[in-house]
Amino acid sequence: MKTSLAGTPHGVQLLHDPLRNKGTAFTEVERDALGLRGLLPPHVHSQDEQMARFLASLRGIADPLEKFVALCSLHDRNEALFFRVVCDNVDEIMPLIYTPTVGLACQRYGHIFQRPRGMFIGVNDRGRIADILRNWPLKAGIIVVTDGERILGLGDQGANGMGIPVGKLSLYTACAGVNPALCLPVTLDMGTNNETLLNDPYYVGLRRHRVTGPAYDELIDEFITAAREVFPDVIIQFEDFANHNAFRLLERYRNRICTFNDDIQGTASVAVAGVLSALRVKGTKLADEKFLFLGAGEAATGIADLLVAAMVAQGVDAAEARQHCWLVDSKGLVVKSREGLAAQKLPYAHEHAQVADFLSALKALQPTAIIGVAAVGGTFTPEVLRAMADGNQRPIVFALSNPTSKAECTAEQAYQGTDGRALFACGSPFLPVQYGGKTLVPRQGNNCYIFPGVGLGAIACGATRITDEMFLAAAHTLASQVTAADLDQGSLFPPLANIREVSARIAVAVAEVAYQRGLAAKPRSDDLRAQVQAHVFDPHYPAYA
Ligand code: NAD
């Protein structure tokens, strides 16, 4: 591809522009035309050679956090090379730029800080947020925003939570090809109640406790209004907000702007895709299943809501569909007689006697599927797995809690505990397991199968809203990418290496729903796949003509 020189900075300025820099890969012609002669060592390397050099050096580093820092500095100096490295080595690099390494990076953010990325907006910025957003030099198409209060399973990380929007947006580009120039990570610094951080001299955020109540809501509202004013078509993804704000904010904004919450809706979509794959093995329909969740938070109620939507789409009455989903939280089975239940749990508070613990609930309800999302490790005990195996020919067992130490059970335990019959999916990666002479390959229900494609589709059609119907379409599309060979080896998701194709198909499905529902601002072309593809960033260097 040839790119015009118009608007291209020259000389040192170009070498310091990560969106355009090619480093030693600038050709002889480009070095003359762009004022680079003498500013680079003489030998011209290809991008492939640069990638090989970077990977060799990365693989020589033992500590994952140091690898993270090396990747960040590549990202800061040469985005195309960074995304070539990520895209061509997604299995190896994803755990370094996202979970689990990103969690550690957030905890150590102030200590490993080198250059800012994204925007920090604090409680002291009330009244001038639009002006601050105008400092961003590009036209943002997607904002991932966090307030740092519930970073992964690590709790309040305050402004250090910035690692998450940065990592998530890298995945938009790596997994779906969203143009990095459109990506704006934002951290809203509402203060922190993490005393360790407040006492850390290298902490990057405000030295104050969290703001709450109307002051919190007003800041969020000003931010949303300002973001829409400065970047009118922007998609805003809420990320790692605490439970008590996540549901509220989603409800407040989902029908007003183009927004979604990945912890709730993205998780739901990937989990439903896993269930759909499991049903292909069983030869059953959703309405034949009974789901018992361990956990009743963002992930559990998000998944339950989308399962209900999927059943309704198959003609099941909504009230009847809800009866197929049961929740257990830290106080036991969620039942109608319990008082003070959070709003998101109420649809699943069915008529039933109180039950104190998960195993008793399982024995009382006899589910066909258990979905662990309580972030309490080891809760799918041998007794739980035995009960599932006794009651089901092919029990569905999803241990989705992260990180690995919080997983309800390992893949090995799931297969051992069910005589190899479990249809298993996990939130953390597990290695293949040998069972009964067969190699079973558990795959991770990773949200990165879903949100990058949803974002790409929304950009391609100019979506004005992101709806649950789109997440359901994404789930069906993801499940359709699982082959018979995948299912045969126990994999309920496609290999991660196929992620770009999966994302492109999800983008088409999402755009299709947007057009059907009148939620797309851009004209529709005859070839929706080509329309999506036109928005895909290619990490190979352009030639500057
Ligand atoms: P959350 O804080 O919103 O919800 C946690 C829920 O677990 C709450 O309802 C809480 O009451 C319940 N709980 C806590 N202790 C319990 C106990 N001892 N017994 C029963 N219930 C208990 O968190 P979340 O966003 O829903 O995430 C939950 C877990 O799911 C995390 O580990 C997260 O990493 C994981 N997750 C995985 C994926 C994925 O695999 N794709 C996606 C999202 C979240």
The per-residue pLDDT for range 284-311, each reduced to its tens digit, is 999 999 999 999 999 999 999 999 999 9
Residue 19 Cα distances to 28, 40, 76, 145, 541, angstroms: 20, 18, 9, 22, 10
Q: Phi/psi class of residue 113: alpha, beta or left (left: φ > 0; alpha: ψ in -120 to 50)? A: beta
Q: Do 57 and 74 touch, CB atoms closer than 8 A?
A: no
Atom 39, ligand 1: residue with shortest CA distance: 427
Q: With a 6 A CB cut-off, is 428 part of the ligand 1 pocket?
A: no
- Establish whether residue 297 lines the binding site of ligand 1, counting it when its CB lies within 6 angstroms of any ligand atom: yes
Residue 328 C-alpha from the chain's centroid: 25
Ligand 1 atom 3 nearest Cα? 297
| Nearest residue to 444 via CA among 279, 305, 270 | 270
Residue 348: active-site member: no
Alpha helices in 314-442 (DSSP H): 318-322, 358-365, 382-391, 411-417
Mean of pLDDT values over 480-508:
97
Ligand 1 binding pocket includes 294 (Cβ within 6 Å): yes
Helix (H) or strand (E) holding 57: helix 47-59
Q: Is 400 in the pocket of ligand 1 (CB under 6 A)?
A: yes
- 265-445 shares its CATH topology with 449-533: yes
pLDDT single digits (tens) 32-52 = 999 999 999 999 999 999 999
Residue type, 238: F
The residue annotated as part of the active site, out of 98, 172, 203, 435, is 98
Q: What's the predicted TM-score (pTM) here?
A: 0.95
Distance 294 CA to ligand 1 centre (A): 8
CA–CA separation, 306 and 299 (whole Å): 11
Contact 145, 239 (CB under 8 A): yes
With contact defined as beta carbons under 8 Å apart, do 471 and 454 qualify? yes
Contact 39, 15 (CB under 8 A): yes
Strands 433-435 and 438-440: antiparallel
Does the beta carbon of 334 lie inside 6 Å of ligand 1?
A: no
Report CA(248)–ligand 1 centroid distance (Å).
Answer: 17
| DSSP codes, 160-206 | GGGHHHHHHHHHIIIII---GGGEEEEEEE-----HHHHT-TT--S-
Helix ranges, 400-520 (H): 411-417, 451-461, 468-480, 484-488, 499-516
Q: Tell me, what's the pLDDT at 494?
A: 97
Query: What CATH code would you report for 265-445?
Result: 3.40.50.720
Rounded Cα distance, 42 and 39, in Å: 9
- Ligand 1 centroid to Cα of residue 199, in Å, is 29
Rounded percentage of the chain residues whose pLDDT exceeds 70: 99
Residue type, position 342, single letter: A
The residue whose C-alpha atom lies closest to atom 25 belonging to ligand 1 is: 298
Amino acid type, 208: R
Q: What angle do CA 147, 153, 159 make, to 5 degrees?
A: 30
Q: Say whether pLDDT at 2 is over 80.
A: no
Q: What is the DSSP string of 16-34?
A: T-TTT--GGG--HHHHHHT
Closest CA to ligand 1's atom 36: 401
Rounded to the nearest angstrom, the distance between the alpha carbon of 281 and the centre of ligand 1 is: 27
What letter does residue 266 receive in the DSSP assignment? I
| Lowest mean pLDDT segment, chosen from 401-410, 418-427, 480-489 | 401-410
The answer to whether 287 and 324 are in contact (CB under 8 A) is: yes
Tell me the best of 303, 327, 402, 409 to mutate to test the pocket of ligand 1, counting ligand atoms within 8 Å of each CB and taking the most.
402
pLDDT in tens, 426-462: 998 899 999 999 999 999 999 999 999 999 999 999 9
298 Cβ closer than 6 Å to some ligand 1 atom? yes
* Closest C-alpha to ligand 1, atom 2: 297
Q: Which atom of ligand 1 is nearest to the CA of 295?
A: 7
Q: Is residue 545 very low, low, confident or very high in pLDDT (cuts 50, 70, 90)?
A: low
| Binding site membership of 267 for ligand 1 (Cβ less than 6 Å) | yes
- In what helix (H) or strand (E) does residue 424 lie, and over which residues does it extend? strand 423-426
Cis omega (within 30 of 0) on the bond before 100? Answer: yes
pLDDT digits (tens, 9 = 90+) for 331-356: 999 999 999 999 999 999 999 999 99
The side-by-side arrangement of strands in the sheet containing 259-261 is 119-122, 183-189, 142-146, 235-238, 259-261
153 alpha carbon – ligand 1 mean position (Å): 9
Nearest protein CA to atom 1 of ligand 1, as residue: 297
Cα dihedral sign, 116-120-125-127: positive
Fold classification of 116-257 is Rossmann fold (3.40.50)
Q: Which of 400, 492, 493, 496 to mutate to test ligand 1, by most ligand atoms within 8 A of the CB atom?
A: 400
| For residues 248-253, average pLDDT | 97
Average pLDDT for the chain: 96
Q: Determine whether 168 is an active site residue.
A: yes
pLDDT band of 5, cuts 50, 70, 90: low
How far away, in angstroms, is 243 Cα from ligand 1 center?
Answer: 10
Q: Which atom of ligand 1 is nearest to the CA of 426?
A: 40
| Count of C-beta atoms within a 10 Å radius of residue 440 | 21
Please name the fold of domain 449-533. Rossmann fold (3.40.50)
Distances (CA, A) of 457 to 236, 445, 522: 14, 21, 11
Cβ count within 10 A of residue 27: 15
Q: What amino acid is encoded at 111 in this protein?
A: H
| Ligand 1 geometric centre to CA of 405 (Å) | 13
Residue 373 near ligand 1, beta carbon < 6 Å: yes
Greatest pairwise CA separation for the chain in angstroms: 79
In tens, the pLDDT along 93-142 reads 999 999 889 999 999 999 999 999 999 999 999 999 999 999 999 999 99
Domain ranges of the chain: 9-45, 116-257, 265-445, 449-533
Q: Is 439 exposed, middle or buried (0-12, 13-18, 19+ CB in 10 A)?
A: exposed
Whole-angstrom distance, CA of residue 361 vs CA of residue 447? 28
270 lines ligand 1 (CB under 6 A): yes
- Which residue is catalytic, options 168, 203, 415, 435? 168
The atom of ligand 1 lying closest to the CA of 345 is 9
Task: Evaluate: CB of 422 within 6 angstroms of ligand 1.
Answer: no
